[in-house]
Chain A
Amino acid sequence: MVWKFSDGRPVYVQIMEHIQTAVLTGIFPPGSKIPSVRELAADAKVNPNTMQHALQELEQSMLLITQGTLGRFVTQDSAVIDAARNKLLHNLTQECIKKYAALGISPEQAANLLLECGKREA
């Protein structure tokens, strides 16, 4: 897994996004066990306390579930996963709209550009 922390948002927030993406792209499939805090922290080269904070937040949002001493698992609740996907997509879209707007492109024009580009790629 590639960890990149580029902006000035708190590190734990960025870690949360990385893990959410990992869940949605199948690196941590639903129901699978995720590595321990230490292992994740070492892999990401971040402070274990920070990693713990991120994982706790993800537990709060129900994406991860602690099963006693067995460890942390990704939820199998598809509603939760869908909600997470939607949120990520929403953030991505917002960012996209902002960037296009800065270049003077409206959302409708942006949509057309995306369709055209998609057809060419196919």
Chain B
Amino acid sequence: MDIVLQTSNLSKNYSGIRALNNLNIALPSGKIIGLLGPNGSGKTTLIKLIAGLLTPTEGSIEVCGVPVGPETKSMISYLPDRVYFNQSQTVEQLLNYFQDFYADFDRQRAVSMLSMLRIPMNVKFKTLSKGAREKVQLALVMSRRAKLYLLDEPIAGVDPAARDFILHTIVTNYDPTATVLISTHLIADVEPVLDEFLFINMGQIICLGSVDDMRDKTGKTLDELFREVFKCLPSL
């Protein structure tokens, strides 16, 4: 098993606040991992650092042994918590864009996902409903054969049917050489899909392990454990 993501003494400050504090994590390949924590715990900051949208204040990040840069960006498929396309383009043009820049983009897969969702190719992105836009974005991101998938709050603010579709896509997209990091605060929905979990609060990892092992030991679901662990702790 290879290490897909490694952080060493990773810290990030934002205008006086220490958003991440001395993080040391190593994520193996072939796992679906949950990055779980309350709002303001540093989940999005960590994901943005890995994706290359932010630079660390201290420490380093390596993806498949390579420091963050254009090369790691070609290995990472990132789904942010917002729509990031030029909305005046058509769905087909967005597919062309992805195909142009990402060598690992599987256009066939994207096309079949979109037809399953009954989304036409030649409509402008901005004419689609909010739910449809999110699904298109997910379909494109998951159609890449990346080494590391970063999904930032993929199911928050999404209807139950869409939630099912997203989780179904994550599961069927599973690749033993790749890793999926899902950041969310909706534990119960995501739990069955996870191999492992990381609890993060106030910029530090406070708990981590395999979901089934944890259930075995404590007899609790991840959701119940989360509520227990974060009950009395202050968040930002």
A and B touch in the complex (CB under 8 A): yes
Report if A120 contacts B (CB, 8 A): no
Beta-carbon contacts under 8 Å, A1-54 to B = 5, 7-12, 38, 41-42, 44-50, 53
The smallest beta-carbon distance between A25 and chain B, in angstroms, is 22
Report if B79 contacts A (CB, 8 A): no
For A50, what are the chain B residues with a Cβ–Cβ distance below 8 Å?
Answer: 192, 195, 211-212
Closest-by-CB residue of B relative to A54 is B212
Report if B216 contacts A (CB, 8 A): yes
Known contacts: A9-B215, A10-B212, A10-B216. The answer to whether A38 contacts B224 by CB under 8 A is no
For B212, what are the chain A residues with a Cβ–Cβ distance below 8 Å?
Answer: 10-12, 50, 53
CA distance A53 to B32 in the complex (A): 15
CA distance A49 to B176 in the complex (A): 9
A10 and B193 within 8 A (CB): no
Q: State which of B30, B193, B215, B224 has its C-beta within 8 Å of the C-beta of A45.
A: B193
For B193, what are the chain A residues with a Cβ–Cβ distance below 8 Å?
Answer: 45-47
B31 and A5 within 8 A (CB): no
Closest-by-CB residue of A relative to B175 is A48
CA distance A5 to B222 in the complex (A): 12
The smallest beta-carbon distance between A6 and chain B, in angstroms, is 9
For A42, what are the chain B residues with a Cβ–Cβ distance below 8 Å?
Answer: 168, 171-172
For B213, what are the chain A residues with a Cβ–Cβ distance below 8 Å?
Answer: 10
For A44, what are the chain B residues with a Cβ–Cβ distance below 8 Å?
Answer: 192
The smallest beta-carbon distance between B129 and chain A, in angstroms, is 24
Q: State which of A9, A38, A47 has its C-beta within 8 Å of the C-beta of B194.
A: A47
The smallest beta-carbon distance between B172 and chain A, in angstroms, is 5
CA distance A44 to B32 in the complex (A): 16
The smallest beta-carbon distance between A3 and chain B, in angstroms, is 8
Closest-by-CB residue of A relative to B189 is A45
B residues contacting A by CB (< 8 A) are 30-32, 164, 167-168, 171-172, 174, 191-195, 211-213, 215-216, 218-221, 224
18 sample A-B contacts, Cβ–Cβ < 8 Å, listed by A number: A7-B221, A8-B218, A8-B219, A8-B221, A10-B213, A11-B192, A11-B215, A42-B168, A42-B172, A45-B171, A47-B174, A47-B194, A48-B174, A49-B32, A49-B195, A50-B195, A50-B211, A53-B212
Further pairs besides A8-B221, A53-B212: 8, Cβ < 8 Å: A5-B192, A10-B216, A38-B171, A42-B168, A45-B192, A47-B174, A49-B31, A49-B32
